[in-house]
Amino acid sequence: MPVVTYLSLGSNLGDREANLREAIRRLGELGTVRKLSSFYETEPVEFTEQPWFVNCAVELETNVSARELLNGMLAIEHAMGRERLQPKGPRLIDLDILLYGDAVMHEYGLTIPHPAMQERRFVLEPVNEIAPLAWHPVLSKTVSAMLAELRAEAIVRKWSRDS
């Protein structure tokens, strides 16, 4: 039975938009991309001495398990040239599972819902655009409610190549 999942994508190296579009195309191998948010330019958080990111969110309908989805996403990152040299550091592509249906999972290397999504405007802003009523099964809140409660933090603005 298909599961609706929400993913966060980001890139801050090379042609950021092209990196996201290629990752979105490859995600089609893991399911059906049903919705895609606008692209947002976002200020780095935690490790701030790096280029700004371009982020977006995807609603993906999939028939694969959460573990298979994660493994497929890691394979996409690897195939696209991602190197994990520094935690929270610059990256060609970053793919994260935010929500996987109403699943709550705590397994080695896989935590769903994403444990920090409610703290990150660069995650919530794009997801809110495509699924404001998406439900966080641990916090019992919608994405729009989490966004409304978020304190001011790093800059997140809609992005275009011309901006």
Among this protein's residues, is 96 annotated catalytic?
yes
Among this protein's residues, is 16 annotated catalytic?
no
Q: Name the catalytic one among 16, 26, 94, 120.
A: 94
Residue 134 CB coordination number (10 Å): 21
Q: Name the catalytic one among 25, 34, 84, 96.
A: 96
Q: Name the catalytic one among 16, 26, 82, 120.
A: 82
Residue 130 CB coordination number (10 Å): 18
Among this protein's residues, is 34 annotated catalytic?
no
Structure-token match 């991309």, residue found = 33
5 SS3 class = strand
Among this protein's residues, is 120 annotated catalytic?
no
Check if the beta carbon of residue 114 is closer than 8 Å to that of residue 125: no
Between CA 40 and CA 126 the distance in angstroms is 7
Q: Name the catalytic one among 16, 26, 91, 121.
A: 91
Which residues carry out catalysis?
82, 91, 94, 96
